Structure 1
Amino acid sequence: MKKIISAALILLVVSGLWLLNTSRHRTHNQRFFLMDTIVEFKVEGDKEHAETAMKHALEELRRIDSTFGYQQSVLTELNARHIIRNQELYSLIEFSLEVNKNSNGAFSLTLRPILDSWGFSGTHAYQVPENSDFERWKSLPGDSGIILFDDGLTVKTHEGILIDLGAVAKGYAADNAARIMKEDNIAAGLVNAGGDIMAFGDRDWQVGIKHPRAPGIFATIPLRNRAIATSGDYERFFIKDGTRYCHILDPETGLPSRRYMSATVVAQSCTQADAWATALFVKGIETLKDFFSQHDMDWIVIDNNGKVYASDALKEYCPDHISTTP
């Protein structure tokens, strides 16, 4: 994780988004490492009140991390036993399966085995998987092998399936931390969970979107009572024989998606923005444009030639083109 500190601005660089602290409001900050990433709170108001709210929000993030993390959690129990009763996990999987359906399969919870083969999860080094790795993964039923019972609690998975919530958990955590702060009567604040940002209250927060091939940002947009997330091929990747392989895999092939360098989504919730940024990176805006418009989501994408495309609401903040070389 890179942290860049400027004398003029404090910029937090995480997963493609920079938070520009240019406000004259009285803002209290906390920054810490959790969920394998840097998390930041920004809260306006009285110091004691703000610190209490941030303490409660941090407790919620720790609870979510222990619930959905990779060590002795309900998620690891599901992956080991292939059945569990847990309402919160059920709801998050239910949401994710809806994204899978509405994106025509561009978003998937069942990529963990092939991600392990690439080295993007697990402990071994990055590598191009063997054909046998792809064949073994493709023999599994994918997201159709996830069964949700009608009780709203029970989740069952096909033998061999490993659920991975990495494309949705940080957004979900940001939403819940923001909810806790609002319940503590914080008038305005922001949660940045590794670049998945949820802003609330009656002010704009200036958020910069990272340039995918050079230091700095290529666009800055105002965020108010909305969330933003970016997926990019520069986050986790390796280059072999001149080819870039990123961690965002196409669920149809198990291969890294090469449609874009960067895909950003602005939505009503960070859970939505997180999941749909991944789906957009894989599927492309041509397929998803109407759905985004119908569900009040805005977007920015950069193709591999550096051409920038954006929804009408965000066009004014974006250049037409960026350099594709550092």
Structure 2
Amino acid sequence: MPIRNSKFSQNLTRFNIPLLMGAVFAASMGTGVFSFTLPLMNLDEKAGGMWLGSGFAGYFLAKLLIAPLSGNYADKYGSSRPLLFSCGLAALLPLLYLLHPAIETLYVIQFILGLCAGTVRTVSMATIGASMGGHKLSSRFAILSAAMNSSFLLGPLLGGLLYIDKDYLPVLGTMSAFMGLAFILFSYCAKLLPTRTATQDGDNELSPGPRHYLGILIALFGRGMGIGSLIAFYPVLLKSSLHLSPGSTALLFSIPSLATVLLLPVSGRLLAAFDRRLVTSTGMLLSALALYILGGCSTIPGFMFTGILSGIGAAISMPASMAVCSELGCAKGRALGFANMAANIGFMAGPLFCGIMVSASGHIGTPFKLTALAGALSAVFLLYESISGKGKRKTGIAIAGCCALFLLLMIPRHLNRNTDKAVFRYSDIAMGTVVNLTIPVQENTGTQKAVKEAIAIMHQLQKDLDHRNKLGSIGRVNHEAGKNSVRVSDKAFQTIKSGLEISKKSGGSFDITIGAITTTPFYYALDKERFAGHKALINFRLLEMNSEDNKVFLPKKGMALDLGGLAKGTIIDAAANHLKESGITTAMVEAGGDFMVFGDREWTIGIRNPRGNGIIGRIKVKNNAVCGSGDYYQFIIPVSKDEETRKHHIFDPALLQSSTESIATTTIAPNAETADALATTVFIMGPKKGNEFMQKHFPDCAAMWVLPDMSIVKTKNFPPIQNSN
């Protein structure tokens, strides 16, 4: 509902709308440049995932809390003060880092940025809502949404360019500049902004009753769940479904946001004359449909289609939902503040719900389907409101009821994939992939307790052995390289010792000090000359270990351990050993295509196709581990005719470049740690040298190579490969 005295709204519409939109865009870019670059800083500083997770949780919590408060303030005292204060404060935040240059300061800055971003979003929306009405409202909200969402596309790109030299000061300076620009633009139109975003229809009716809010708030919560689930779990789904380069993965990930930004200005104008509740619910249902289809996708065209469909749904629903909230009553700030709060609660609830359902279903796609259904059901009530509001209450009930019934019928029948009651399966997310524990016994309290403890052990070891975790054993050793020896955990010491033994036996083909290169993000995409000076830093022989006190020392500054070649196997073994100690006699532990099986049962394992979907064959194993390596996990496709092979993450320490002898290997060993390390080692060696190495040092283990021409070479003791058909 527009204000009765429209002098301010006309001036704002004619002359200052571009300034207002430009200010919102600048503020969004300032936030985006910082927030999307912070994970890179987190990796370089080797800070743990706890820092990163808690930092972003704090950011969204800040947005959630500030939304209703800033909206209420704008209703009473106007838009200009909160907008100017938040942008001015954000522009000064880099001073905190100059006074105390530490990663902890950056996370403090991020929390304060959450307060500023939540204020700008809510108050700018309230300003538009209080300044105009009619058909222009949806189109203005569409442009505002495009200005806000464009930071999801441009922020990471600009932030990555600014951080190319691993210096965070340019990022902070750019953030400050964008926020300063937003402050200036808001200042220019401050006098023409509404003095109150609560319209002048009477202070006693600033807001309608709760039932008027219920439909849109539930719908916004459902949409927030979908968006949160996408951001948190979409990369895992892509990783588990496709073998793409990081660039291709990022492109697929950006399609929904790109489609949304491009379509928002068009959708806002074209749909402005239609019933806004109907438009909102329709767009949300389209987004939910895309998310549901996404749960079953396994091909690039499928992901592209669902990404575009999701973007179309968002572009349709965003401006219309803002307009619906704006017209709920006279208190624009309060209504839009609660709307943003509902969306942020959904945004935080979505990833939590998906995490729970991954454990229950054992498949990353099922949570997407369930979240999609929850989002669609949350939009049904809004759909009913849009239809019944025209005097067709019975028709509205019938249509909404049919939609709800149809959606309920689409719930996956087996939310728990234990179709065989004699087999208990448990799943979770660990090491960036889906982990499955399969036990051929009936589910009971004992097995539940054992598998949950096994998963907890996996999470604990992941933190301790990951070089990205500054507080873990490996992170601390790397941080003190060239300075001090570090006492590490018993498991870390034994894993380093195992890696050192294989490094010695392989003559350095497998070298756990390769971290001098591999701890650099996207190291395999950089020119070989970049690492010319690192040759002296990669030498396992220099590593000093003291078994009396579990101390490890890297004698040269710049040296670093990377246990990625065997730590995954170590973690799988730890989970399997805990199951054995808990009295479980037969089980399979699988993480991202690597397996450890034990007991009397013979298991059938598929061997992944390194150049396509599906598998190239199956093998049968018993009381053994099966692990694989390949150039399809992390890579970039050659862009030059002079380069015939892809650059990938498996580096040959002797050549300081990606190994080209194989494209995939599969190894079988008595434990996953050995199988994991051997898969990397023989990948680098190739079949000829690798065969000799296996016969001399690991005669009881087996290996298979897939060569660049897709031919297969095996050791004599590798089990028969059954046809994939």
Provide the TM-score with structure 2 as the length reference. 0.40
Q: Is the 8 A contact 2:240 2:592 kept in 1?
A: no
Mapping of 1:60-139 within 5 angstroms?
A: 60-69=457-466, 70-71=468-469, 72-82=471-481, 83-86=485-488, 87-117=490-520, 119-120=522-523, 127-129=525-527, 131=529, 133-139=530-536
Amino acid at match of 1:195: G
* Local SS of the residue matching 2:462: helix
Matched, 1:311 2:710: no
Shift of 1:299: 1.1
1:167 maps to 2:565: yes
Letter in 1 for 2:492: L
What CA distance in whole angstroms lies between the structure 1 residues aligned with 2:362 and 2:577?
A: 24
Correspondence list, 1:164-243, <5 A:
164-242=562-640, 243=643
Q: Secondary structure at the match of 1:185?
A: coil
**Secondary structure, counterpart of 1:225 in structure 2:** coil
Matched, 1:140 2:537: yes
Q: Any residues of structure 2 matched to 1:264-283 within 5 Å, and which? A: 264-283=666-685
Count of matched residue pairs: 304
Calculate the aligned-residue CA RMSD, in Å: 2.7
Are residues 153 and 42 of structure 1, via their aligned partners in 2, closer, same or farther at CA, if it must alter by over 3 Å?
same
Letter matched to residue 476 of structure 2 = E
Aligned to 1:38: 434
SS at match of 1:265: strand
1:68-106 CA-partner distances (Å, limit 9, x unpaired)? 232221111111123212332221111101111111211
Q: Deviations over 1:265-320 (max 9, x none)?
A: 0000000000010000001232232442453101111111111111233352167x
Question: How far, CA to CA, are the matches of 1:282 and 1:192 in structure 2?
Answer: 24
Matches of 2:660 and 2:624 in 1, distance apart?
28
Q: Which amino acid aligns with 2:596?
A: M
| Match 1:286 to one of 670, 675, 688 | 688
Does the aligned pair in 1 maintain the 2:431–2:462 contact within 8 Å? Answer: yes
- For the structure 1 residues 207 and 227, does the alpha-carbon distance in structure 2 shift closer, same or farther, using more than 3 Å as the test? same
Residues 1:29 and 2:432 are matched in the alignment: no
Which secondary structure state, in structure 2, belongs to the residue aligned with residue 105 of structure 1?
A: coil
Offset, 1:234: 0.9
The alignment status of 1:55 with 2:293, answered yes or no, reads no
Larger CA deviation: 85-94 vs 297-306: 85-94
Tell me which amino acid in the other structure corresponds to 2:669: A
Q: 1:30 aligns to what SS in structure 2?
A: strand
Q: Distance in 2 between matches of 1:199 and 1:104?
A: 30
Taking a change above 3 Å as real, the CA distance of residues 26 and 313 of structure 1, as seen in their structure-2 partners, is: farther
Instruction: Evaluate the alpha carbon distance shift between residue 231 and residue 22 of structure 1 in structure 2; reply closer, same or farther with a 3 A threshold.
Output: farther
**Structure 2 counterpart of 1:35, one-letter code:** M
Partners of 1:44 and 1:187 within 8 A in 2 = no
Which residue of structure 2 lines up, in the alignment, with residue 18 of structure 1? none
Using the TM superposition, give the Cα deviation of residue 128 of structure 1 relative to its aligned residue in structure 2, in angstroms. 2.5
Q: Per-residue deviation at 1:147?
A: 0.7
Larger Rg: 2
CA separation of 1:91 and 1:235: change in aligned 2, threshold 3 A: same
Residue 123 of structure 1 corresponds to none
* Map of 1:2 onto structure 2: 240
User: Letter of the aligned partner of 1:58 in structure 2?
Assistant: I
Identity of aligned residues (%): 26
| Mapped partners of 1:183, 1:47: distance in 2 | 18
Q: In the alignment, does 2:550 pair up with 1:153?
A: yes
Alignment partners' CA distance in 2, 1:141 and 1:177: 31
Contact 1:190 1:199 in 2 (8 A): yes
CA separation of 1:30 and 1:107: change in aligned 2, threshold 3 A: same
The answer on whether the counterparts of 1:5 and 1:11 sit within 8 Å (CA) in structure 2 is: no
Q: Is the 8 A contact 1:44 1:189 kept in 2?
A: yes
Q: Which residue of 2 aligns with 1:16?
A: none
How far did residue 240 of structure 1 move?
Answer: 2.8
1 CA distance for matches of 2:453 and 2:547?
33
1:103-129 deviation line (CA, Å, top 9, x unaligned) = 121111122232255715xxxxx6332
1:259 is matched with which residue?
661
Contact preservation (8 Å) 2:418, 2:425: no
CA 1:130–1:220: 2 relative to 1, 3 Å: closer
The whole-number CA distance in structure 2 between the counterparts of 1:111 and 1:24 is 45
**Contact 1:230–1:263 (CA under 8 A) maintained in structure 2:** yes
CA distance 1:188–1:118, change in 2 (3 Å): same
- Provide TM-score, normalisation by structure 1: 0.85
Question: CA-to-partner distance for each residue in 1:26-63, whole Å, 9 max, x for gaps?
Answer: 21112211122221111121311321210121121122
Deviations 1:154-193 (A, max 9, x none): 1111221111111111100000100000111112111112
Letter paired with 1:32: D
| Structure ranking higher in strand proportion | 1
The answer (yes or no) to whether the contact 2:619–2:720 under 8 Å persists in 1 is no
Q: Which amino acid aligns with 1:2?
A: S
In structure 2, do the counterparts of structure 1 residues 161 and 240 end up closer, same or farther at CA, with 3 Å as the change threshold?
Answer: same
1:53 and 1:66 map into 2 onto residues whose CA distance is 20
* CA distance in structure 1 between the partners assigned to 2:631 and 2:474 by the alignment: 27
**Structure 2: any 5+ residue segments left out of the alignment?**
1-238, 242-294, 298-360, 365-416
Q: Secondary structure at the match of 2:537?
A: coil
Q: Could you say which residue in structure 1 is the equivalent of 2:388?
A: none
Conservation of the 8 A alpha-carbon contact between 2:240 and 2:433: no
Q: Which position in structure 1 is the counterpart of 2:170?
A: none
